């Protein structure tokens, strides 16, 4: 790149920072000003969600002022161009987080490893370990883990988009490149790292197609530091870190906000993920903010913040309406009890029941659009189901039940 071109790009980025007081030392953290001053009843500060004592695995949890036994949860991840490991105090506290608290959501603001600490997928492993930790420690923090959502700005939005689109996937593959998407951090590895919804603010999504951001000092790009190699000649390594390639049926409802004048992450980045989700008929919305920059108070208008909280409220309401006692249980795999009189197994698209001559079954789709029940002999062909995520409850005359999750590709 010619020096004059680089100067223009750098000036544009500095100008974007100047709009909201980020400053050159502030990374891509967005504004901390805003009309919604953060108000909360209780704060759990610097809790370590991995148990290793590292600052990059610390988080803060804020509880709303309204007293309740349990609170639904939103994890909001800061933007930093993947370059900060202790930036949770700059996680849009007086804008996004304040609006979430006011709407009744417990807000979790985590640190995560920076590109200097470890390359991708370490940061994804951090956030998935956090989700598992919140489920395993819910009672300690008064959390209602029947609803856990992701939120994130800029690079935090990128990481949140990966959490949202990789539920149930152990590996990501592109060409000859394979990455572990789950990791094994923390003590709660038996818990799910899936979430229920996502809000993404100005996110990179397909970083391979995005124009890389040159570092302010030194050589190379922020994306190259995050992936471990620069873009040229490394398409597969960049693609396995891009959420549109993971979009599929059953992904969680997602709303994206992007400014039309974003000078750091081009608005097409949000549209690429939105289009990928729409292809699979995933509930999703794209809010284009006229004149919106990368962060900035124009992005965090009261109207947009309300759209975010209304979206989460709508998803929560739909989930609650579609869930009864059985369907709640079928959203996760439940291990068979010792000494059980019968056994249920999935073999491909076949459901097999052993140890019972006669039983009944109920099948629910997670979104509530599909539900039926019938008698079952010893085998059921599930290939007739439309693509989606299902819970299955098998019952025998004695009243004993087994529940499991089935994903129809």
**Interval 292-327: pLDDT, tens:** 999 888 899 999 999 999 999 999 999 888 764 434
Beta bridge partners of 148: 73
pLDDT digits (tens, 9 = 90+) for 231-270: 999 999 999 999 999 999 889 999 999 999 998 999 999 9
* 42-48 vs 58-63, strand pairing mode: antiparallel
Query: Closest Cα partner for 282 from 196, 392, 385?
Result: 196
- For the beta carbon of residue 131, count every other beta carbon within 10 angstroms: 25
Please give the full DSSP string across 285-330, using - where no structure is assigned. EEEEETT-BSBSTTTT-HHHHHHHHHHHHHHHHHHHHT--HHHHHT
Task: State which H helix or E strand residue 73 sits in.
Answer: strand 71-77
Specify the pLDDT at position 344.
83
What 3-state DSSP class applies to 129? helix
pLDDT, averaged across the chain: 84
* DSSP 8-state symbol, 37: -
Residues 88 and 76: beta-carbon distance below 8 Å: no
Higher-confidence residue of 343 and 164: namely 164
Instruction: Tell me the angle at which helices 122-136 and 155-165 cross, rounded to the nearest 10 degrees.
Output: 60
Q: How big is the CA angle at 232 (ends 231 and 235), to the nearest 5 degrees?
A: 65
pTM for the structure as a whole: 0.76
Other CB atoms within 10 Å distance of the CB of residue 275: 14
- Per-residue b or e along 78-97, where b marks 16 or more CB atoms closer than 10 Å to that residue's CB: bbbbbbbbebbebbbbbbbb
Q: Say what the pLDDT of residue 405 is.
A: 82
* Span 56-64, average pLDDT: 98
- Give the closest residue to 305 by CA, choosing from 42, 107, 80, 60: 107
pLDDT band at 175, cuts 50/70/90?
Answer: very high
pLDDT at residue 371 in the model: 62
The whole-angstrom separation of Cα 32 and Cα 94 is: 6
Instruction: Find the helix or strand (DSSP H, E) in which 187 lies.
Output: none
Provide the H-helix boundaries in 20-90: none
Cα radius of gyration rounded to whole Å, the chain:
22
pLDDT value, residue 33: 56
pLDDT(53) > 70: yes
Strand partners, 71: 143
* pLDDT for res 348: 76
State both tokens at 147. 């609803």
Task: In whole angstroms, give the CA distance from residue 260 to residue 397.
Answer: 60
What digits encode the pLDDT tens for the residues 5-42?
333 343 334 333 333 333 333 335 444 455 668 999 99
pLDDT at 346: 82
User: Closest Cα partner for 367 from 304, 323, 308, 314?
Assistant: 323
């Amino acid at each position: 790149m010619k020096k004059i071109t680089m100067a223009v790009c750098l000036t544009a980025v500095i100008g974007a920072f100047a709009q909201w007081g980020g400053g050159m030392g502030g990374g891509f953290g967005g504004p901390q000003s805003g009309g919604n001053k953060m108000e909360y009843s209780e704060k759990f500060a610097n809790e370590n969600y991995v148990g290793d004592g590292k600052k990059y695995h610390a988080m803060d949890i804020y509880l709303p002022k309204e007293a309740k036994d349990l609170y639904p949860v939103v994890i909001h991840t800061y933007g930093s161009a993947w370059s900060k490991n202790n930036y949770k105090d700059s996680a849009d506290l007086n804008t996004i987080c304040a609006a979430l608290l006011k709407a009744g959501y417990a807000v979790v603001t985590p640190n995560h490893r920076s590109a200097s600490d470890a390359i991708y997928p370490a940061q994804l492993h951090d956030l998935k370990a956090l989700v598992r930790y919140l489920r395993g420690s819910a009672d300690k923090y008064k959390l209602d883990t029947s609803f856990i959502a992701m939120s994130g700005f800029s690079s935090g939005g990128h990481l949140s988009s990966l959490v949202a689109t990789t539920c149930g996937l152990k590996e990501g593959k592109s060409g000859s490149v394979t990455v572990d998407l789950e990791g094994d951090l923390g003590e709660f590895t038996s818990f799910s790292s899936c979430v229920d919804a996502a809000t993404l603010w100005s996110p990179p999504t397909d970083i391979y197609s995005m124009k890389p951001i040159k570092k302010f000092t030194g050589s190379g790009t922020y994306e190259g530091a995050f992936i471990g190699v620069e873009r040229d000649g490394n398409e597969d390594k960049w693609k396995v870190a891009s959420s549109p390639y993971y979009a599929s049926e059953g992904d969680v409802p997602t709303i994206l906000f992007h400014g039309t004048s974003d000078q750091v992450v081009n608005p097409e980045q949000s549209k690429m993920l939105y289009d990928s989700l729409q292809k699979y008929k995933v509930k999703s919305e794209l809010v284009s903010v006229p004149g919106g920059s990368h962060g900035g108070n124009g992005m965090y208008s009261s109207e947009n913040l309300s759209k975010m909280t209304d979206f989460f409220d709508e998803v929560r309401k739909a989930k609650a309406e579609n869930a009864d006692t059985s369907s709640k249980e079928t959203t996760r795999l439940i291990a068979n009890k010792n000494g059980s009189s019968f056994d249920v197994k999935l073999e491909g698209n076949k459901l097999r029941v052993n140890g019972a001559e006669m039983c009944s079954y109920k099948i629910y789709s997670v979104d509530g659009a599909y539900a039926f029940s019938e008698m079952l002999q010893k085998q059921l062909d599930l290939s007739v189901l439309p693509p989606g995520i299902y819970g299955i409850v098998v019952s025998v005359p004695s009243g004993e039940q087994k529940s499991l999750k089935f994903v129809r590709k």
